[in-house]
Amino acid sequence: MNLVLAKNETGRALSDSFAIARDRLPGAGKVAEARSAAFEAYERAGLPHRRIEDWKYTDLRALMREVLPLAPAPDAAALKRAAAAVKLQAIKGARRLVLVDGVFAPKLSELDGLEKGLTVRTLQDVLEAGDAALQAQLLTPDNANPMVALNSAMMTDGVVIEIADGLVLKQPLQVIHVANAATPAAMFTRSLLRLGRDAGLTLVEGYIAADGAEVYQAHDSLIIAIGDNSRLDHVRLVEDSREAINISSSVVTLGAHAHFNTFGMTSGAAVSRYQATIAFAGEHSRVETNGVNLLNGRQHADTTLFMDHAVPHCASREVFRAVADNRAHSVFQGRIVVRPDAQKTDAKMMTRALLLSDDAEADNKPELEIFADDVTCGHGATTGALEESLLFYLRARGLSEKEAQALLIQAFVGEAIESIVNDDLRELAIAATRRWLEARS
């Protein structure tokens, strides 16, 4: 039986946008073919909805409704506004790489004096240069996920970072995504990070809005390959406009004896989803992933993690905290798969949610799929309110109700924030927490 799906106005508009945007999308030949195949995969599926298990709590057909047209390339005025936003977010001592409305901005970035063994290129350059190996890695994400497929079709720019064998960078790399479009628009970025053997790096990603940017969609994808005996510390802060939508994906592969320590905080955007697949490809590797959602109003934030233990003697730890106020909705989905050959796996996951109002909602869905018999695995999930006895104790010592709540909230999210190794970056996350608490009071 043949089924013909009628295309609605939104679908036609997006098809038109893709056709119009093709001339400014980098890459020809196989890259262009891959884009078309990815867009066809997205069109067949459409926006994810609640009948898809992985999107059960984040129905984009209801929350997002449509994909906005591609943002125009930033002009001089847009870059000036973006520069002001970047100045407020720049981290002292970090090398800055800036993307404005989905396009790399060299004048706002720091590319001079790169360390020997550090290579930074733009996605546009890589896709147009014909580097088959890099292009293959950039185009490998699974088109079965419709939002990854859409990103594959529409990606305009990003950064491609390569760390040579033996290079341990003391200076963090900061990638700042700046939304600046004056009218509602979408930005599509994809980046690649490759660490060689015995390498090390701290990567900081930030999502912010320039003055005047309110309604926009950020569609981002990051592919990471960590070589043998290498370490990556990754800090990710989402502080988009409160009317924005942020859909981000990561695909991470670890070699042998590798260490991946990642922390993410979401306090901005009306709707956000961070989905990450982390695969163990080498033995004796370790992953520590920590996250915090700080939400109020009608914000909706979804963190979905898939930990794929495919080889023996690896360990993973997941710690997630959510604070939801007003009518906010936090989602955490964590799935750990231990494959038959992954003996001696040590995997644990814990998620806790703190609801500050009767209308706030938190959905926590931890999952374990274990196909090996010599493993140590566990998970847990809790949801509750602030402890009344602790509030009373603090109020009795002269603190106001808001001050007492703020102190307890900071303690609640502290376990996840403490996972950040770099002192300056830990203070950055603490400052973001304080900003959220001040805006709440």
Question: Which tokens is 26 given?
Answer: 């980098």
| Alpha-helical runs (H) found in 22-75 | 30-45, 60-63
Mean pLDDT over 353-357 rounds to: 95
pLDDT of residue 13: 64
pLDDT of residue 282: 97
Task: Tell me the β-bridge partners of 336.
Answer: 307, 368
Residue 2: pLDDT over 80: no
Per residue in 183-227, pLDDT (tens digit) is: 899 999 999 999 999 999 999 999 999 998 999 999 999 999 999
DSSP 65: -
pLDDT of residue 141: 64
Residue 406: pLDDT over 50: yes
* Residue 420 DSSP SS3: coil
Per residue in 109-155, pLDDT (tens digit) is: 999 999 999 999 999 999 988 778 888 888 876 778 999 999 999 99
Q: Are 424 and 92 a contacting pair, CB within 8 Å?
A: yes
Per residue in 224-256, pLDDT (tens digit) is: 999 999 999 999 999 999 999 999 999 999 999
pLDDT of residue 182: 80
Residues 6+ apart with CB under 8 A from 385: 354, 355, 356
In terms of C-beta distances under 8 Å and separation of at least 24 residues, what long-range contacts does 102-110 make, across chains too?
102/70, 102/71, 102/156, 102/157, 102/187, 102/188, 102/189, 103/73, 103/74, 103/156, 103/157, 104/157, 104/158, 104/159, 105/74, 105/79, 105/178, 107/79, 108/79, 108/82, 108/83
Mean pLDDT over 363-371 rounds to: 95
Q: Are 418 and 426 a contacting pair, CB within 8 Å?
A: yes
pLDDT of residue 441: 59
Residue 3: pLDDT over 50: no
> For residue 12, what pLDDT band results from cuts at 50, 70 and 90?
low
Alpha-carbon Rg for the chain in angstroms: 21
> For residue 10, what pLDDT band results from cuts at 50, 70 and 90?
low
> For residue 8, what pLDDT band results from cuts at 50, 70 and 90?
very low
Phi-psi region of 398 (alpha: psi -120 to 50; beta: other; left: phi over 0): left
Residue among 326, 241, 311, 237 nearest 274 (CA): 237
pLDDT of residue 246: 98
Q: How far apart are CA 217 and CA 187, in angstroms?
A: 6
Residue 346: pLDDT over 90: yes
Residue among 228, 240, 252 nearest 305 (CA): 252
Q: Are 315 and 284 a contacting pair, CB within 8 Å?
A: no
pLDDT of residue 142: 73
Per residue in 262-295, pLDDT (tens digit) is: 999 999 999 999 999 999 999 999 999 999 999 9
pLDDT of residue 131: 76
Supply the pTM of this predicted model: 0.93
